[in-house]
């Protein structure tokens, strides 16, 4: 007697056959999803590289002009704090889709996606951002070293600045050292420079104050050879200054400090076409001078420009030589 499979057995075989037949279709669907995810992650990262091209190029280039030290640091810190986490998030998404081994990433992506139609490596964006990440610490250290060298040089040169602006220059130098330490908080030269600059600034301020206390008004040069009366020439200088100066400035006194006029300009034939005479001028400036202290500026007043011009007013220009301060009581006629 022949036996036939039960209905339950036949039904089981039918279901199994259906599942086996569907496996290739399911595998293909899964493969398509993996490819789509990998391509989307790759494209997102490629767009990030394009968006950040300007900043990453500067990092890759590794050079920064001193005038750009401050703005570039702001740009670099923004990249580190804001942009880099976004990039790393997109790299992680690509790694999830294609594998997170940088050495085998290109092979893994080619296995999944085939050759890149663009001709570029699939892994180029990841490797580029990896290079940028590794370049930043060295770039920070190099710029900090450049700043330290510049700051040390500026400290040595501080004495050449007029005392009227030296305090501001010391302030700029302090800011430069702070900027360098933002680039690299562990730069030994900058760490040493900080207190040196503070000490030099304090010592310079004390020295300048002593100079202000001791400075004396020279009065008209006793050997002035003329032409012209010293008092009349001083009046002409004051009149010119006060007619051309800023509203916040007022010249109070002037004295000739050189023995003679000097040729300020010659024409192509060597003929004098402008003469100049140098004065000290006591000047009040709103918000700068005080009831006790007045500016004492060295100014050369210059004649009009023409052949055979006389060594005499009217003055037409003024050239500032240097600026300093002194006690108001040391200028005759001032209180």
- Extents of the domains making up the chain: 12-214, 230-330
Share of the chain above pLDDT 90, in %: 51
What is the C-alpha separation between 89 and 91, in angstroms, rounded?
A: 5
15 band by pLDDT with thresholds 50, 70 and 90: very low
Q: What do you get for the CA distance between the two ends of the chain, in Å? A: 141
pLDDT of residue 95: 86
What is the C-alpha separation between 293 and 296, in angstroms, rounded?
A: 9
Q: How far is CA 200 from CA 54, 160, 185, 196, in A?
A: 40, 14, 22, 6
pLDDT of residue 6: 52
Q: Is the pLDDT of residue 35 over 90?
A: no
CA 259, chain centre distance (Å): 45
22 band by pLDDT with thresholds 50, 70 and 90: very low
Average pLDDT over residues 141-147: 95
Q: Is the pLDDT of residue 46 over 80?
A: yes
Q: Is the pLDDT of residue 25 over 70?
A: no
Q: How far is CA 2 from CA 5, 9, 265, in A?
A: 10, 16, 132
What is the C-alpha separation between 234 and 241, in angstroms, rounded?
A: 11
State both tokens at 95.
């790694």
Which among 152, 145, 154, 156 has a CA at the least distance from the CA of 180? 145
183 band by pLDDT with thresholds 50, 70 and 90: very high
Which among 137, 153, 98 has a CA at the least distance from the CA of 121? 98
pLDDT of residue 194: 86
HSE of 329, CA atoms in CB hemisphere, 13 A: 3
227 band by pLDDT with thresholds 50, 70 and 90: very high
Longest dimension (CA), the chain: 152
pLDDT of residue 8: 52
Higher pLDDT, residue 8 or 184: 184
Average pLDDT over residues 291-314: 93
What's the chain's Rg over C-alpha atoms?
A: 39
């Amino acid at each position: 007697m022949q036996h036939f499979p039960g209905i339950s057995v036949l039904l089981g075989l039918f279901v199994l056959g259906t599942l086996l037949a569907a496996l290739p279709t399911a595998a293909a669907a899964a493969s398509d999803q993996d490819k789509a995810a990998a391509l989307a992650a790759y494209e997102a990262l490629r767009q990030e590289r394009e968006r950040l091209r300007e900043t990453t190029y500067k990092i890759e280039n590794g050079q920064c002009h001193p005038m750009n030290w401050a703005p570039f640091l702001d740009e670099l810190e923004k990249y580190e704090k804001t942009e880099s986490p976004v990039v790393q998030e997109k790299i992680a998404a690509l790694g999830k889709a294609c594998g997170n081994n940088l050495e085998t990433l290109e092979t893994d992506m080619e296995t999944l996606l085939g050759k890149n139609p663009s001709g570029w490596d699939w892994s180029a964006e990841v490797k580029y951002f990896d290079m940028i990440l590794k370049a930043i610490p060295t770039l920070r250290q190099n710029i900090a070293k450049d700043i330290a060298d510049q700051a040390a040089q500026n400290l040595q040169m501080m004495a050449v600045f007029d005392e009227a602006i030296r305090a501001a220059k010391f302030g700029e130098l302090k800011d430069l050292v702070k900027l360098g330490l933002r680039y690299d908080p562990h730069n030994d030269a900058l760490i040493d420079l900080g207190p040196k600059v503070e000490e030099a600034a304090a010592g310079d301020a004390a020295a300048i104050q002593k100079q202000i206390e001791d400075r004396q008004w020279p009065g008209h040069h006793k050997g002035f050879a003329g032409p012209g009366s010293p008092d009349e020439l001083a009046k002409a200088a004051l009149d010119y200054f006060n007619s051309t100066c800023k509203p916040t400035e007022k010249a109070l006194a002037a004295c000739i400090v050189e023995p003679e006029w000097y040729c300020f300009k010659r024409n192509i034939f060597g003929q004098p076409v402008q003469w100049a005479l140098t004065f000290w001028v006591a000047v009040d400036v709103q918000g700068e001078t005080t009831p006790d202290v007045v500016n004492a500026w060295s100014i050369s007043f210059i004649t009009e420009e023409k052949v055979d011009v006389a060594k005499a007013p009217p003055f037409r220009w003024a050239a500032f030589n240097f600026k300093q301060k002194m006690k108001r009581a040391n200028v005759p006629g001032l209180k």
